[in-house]
Amino acid sequence: MKTRMAALFASERPDLPALLDDLPVGVAVLDGEGRVRFLNKTLESLTGFAREDVRGLPCRHVLRSRACVQGCPWARSEGEGGSLETDLINRHRRRIAVRLTPVLLRDAEGRELARLEILEDLTPIKEMEDRLSQAAGPGQMVGRSQAMEKLLRLVPVIAQSDSPVLITGETGTGKDLLAEAVHRASPRSREPFVRFSCGPMPEELLEADLFGRRGSGGEGRPGRFQQAHNGTLYLSEIADLPVQQQARLVRCLDERAILPVGADKPVRVNVRLIASTNADPEALIRSGRLREDLFHRLAAVRLHLPPLRQRGEDVSFLLQHFLGVYAARFKKSIGGFSPKALRLLSAYPFPGNVRELKNIVEFAAMVCSGETILPAHLPAHLPGAHDAAEPAPKTARKTGRKAKG
């Protein structure tokens, strides 16, 4: 067996180590006794062991996994039982989710040449599943309407690319949350998510804040691009950015580099750019507030958040969702809305969209002292909220005492 394996690595296929090193999955070559003869570079990185240090060691001492305890894959049908998901404890005691596939190599006469263990790192997949399975909190996108479900299905798909994203929608529809949701579902999720509002400010200050400033001693102040390096930079209300800075932004997207204020050499940056606007981009271009070349670069992926008045089926769902959030925050046992309060809220157009709905529910939950939100608990600006009192619902238990007086 050892002679045939030596021939496999020598005269028969001298290029085999290089071929295995080029594979994006980990590969261990074992002899018939289950001892390690070779690790490719991917598996060296995964396990933390150098191939020279582990040559001749039993496989279970190198590829330490739950599969070894539950039953060696090679003991099940000579290793031809297919793939299995398990874990791997590397040299640094880090647990790594892997898919293990045992493969038996035979020569033309059917004799065993070598045993391969192929390990695929499942960490990126598991992290994605964890991010997408997290329960929705007050800072996450939620919705049950067809438009929102379609949009939320797109998020994990577009998150995998580095293309710029342009988010449009009225004020309060959730553009900031959508930008953050794209970042959280992306491979950049462990890197910074940096927000920058393009609102009015002196151009010199804005330029230094966005692109950074080089100091007199060589050290300078990093701008938002440098702060977001390897992560995501979110520019809200992009049309408020002066046209001159928009031109610099176009150059930055083309060259993937910035020129800090006072610097004579550009600085490379690895940033995914997400921008938003509450106005129609085409109208902004016609009015001269948004450069057309910047729009075309940003709109590689374009997402639109419809106003709440076009998502009627979302109103009752969002009311209950935010009531649960704020009842828990204020430690109150509020079960729902009274019929009249629900009718008033359902008829309201919510010009401030989801943000306004959330604020209304927060206020109502804050002032409510019972188990049901009544019209009297709603903000005074809602039409009909305080026109007529609604009797409080009867409670299941009586106190057993009469009030004095």
How far is 293 from 394, CA to CA, in rounded Å?
63
pLDDT for 304 equals 95
Domain spans, the chain: 2-121, 128-306, 311-377
DSSP states along 258-309: E--BT-SS-EE---EEEEEESS-HHHHHHHTSS-HHHHHHHTTEEEEE--GG
How far is 282 from 292, CA to CA, in rounded Å?
9
CATH of 311-377, one of 3.60.150.10, 3.20.20.70, 1.10.8.60, 1.10.260.40: 1.10.8.60
Write the CB contacts of 64 (distance below 8 Å, at least 6 apart in sequence).
Answer: 88, 89
pLDDT for 313 equals 82
pLDDT for 138 equals 44
Q: 128-306 belongs to which homologous superfamily?
A: P-loop containing nucleotide triphosphate hydrolases (3.40.50.300)
Greatest CA separation for the chain: 106
How far is 135 from 137, CA to CA, in rounded Å?
6
pLDDT for 40 equals 93
How far is 287 from 280, CA to CA, in rounded Å?
11
CA distances (Å), origin 323, targets 171, 261, 332, 347, 363: 22, 48, 10, 18, 10
pTM of the prediction? 0.61
pLDDT for 129 equals 54
| Span 130-174, pLDDT tens digits | 554 444 444 567 788 888 888 888 998 999 999 999 999 999 999
Query: Coil, strand or helix: which one is 126?
Result: helix
Question: Would you say the C-alpha torsion 214, 220, 224, 226 has a positive or negative sign?
Answer: positive
Note the CATH number of domain 2-121.
3.30.450.20
The C-alpha angle 78, 82, 88, rounded to 5 degrees, equals 95
Q: pLDDT in tens for each of the 405 residues of the chain?
A: 555 555 555 545 567 788 888 888 999 998 878 889 999 999 999 899 999 999 999 888 888 887 776 667 666 544 455 678 888 888 888 888 888 888 888 777 777 778 888 999 888 766 655 554 444 444 567 788 888 888 888 998 999 999 999 999 999 999 999 999 999 999 999 899 999 998 777 777 888 888 888 766 556 788 899 999 999 999 999 999 988 889 999 999 999 999 888 888 888 999 999 999 999 999 999 999 999 999 999 988 999 999 999 987 889 889 999 999 999 999 999 989 999 999 999 999 999 999 999 999 999 999 999 999 999 999 988 887 766 455 555 444 444 444 443
Residues 179-207: b if buried by 16+ CB within 10 A, e if exposed: bbbbbbbbebbebebbebebeeeeeeebb
> Taking phi first (over 0 means left), then psi (-120 to 50 degrees means alpha), and beta for anything else, what does residue 82 get?
left
How far is 186 from 326, CA to CA, in rounded Å?
29
Identify residue 318 by its one-letter amino acid code.
L
How far is 141 from 161, CA to CA, in rounded Å?
20
pLDDT for 133 equals 43
Q: Comparing 2-121 with 311-377, is the CATH topology the same? A: no
Do residues 143 and 279 make contact, with C-beta atoms less than 8 angstroms apart?
no
Tell me the average pLDDT of the chain: 83
pLDDT for 300 equals 87
Identify residue 231 by its one-letter amino acid code.
G
How far is 341 from 353, CA to CA, in rounded Å?
18
| Span 315-372, pLDDT tens digits | 988 999 999 999 999 999 998 999 999 999 999 999 999 999 999 999 999 999 999 9
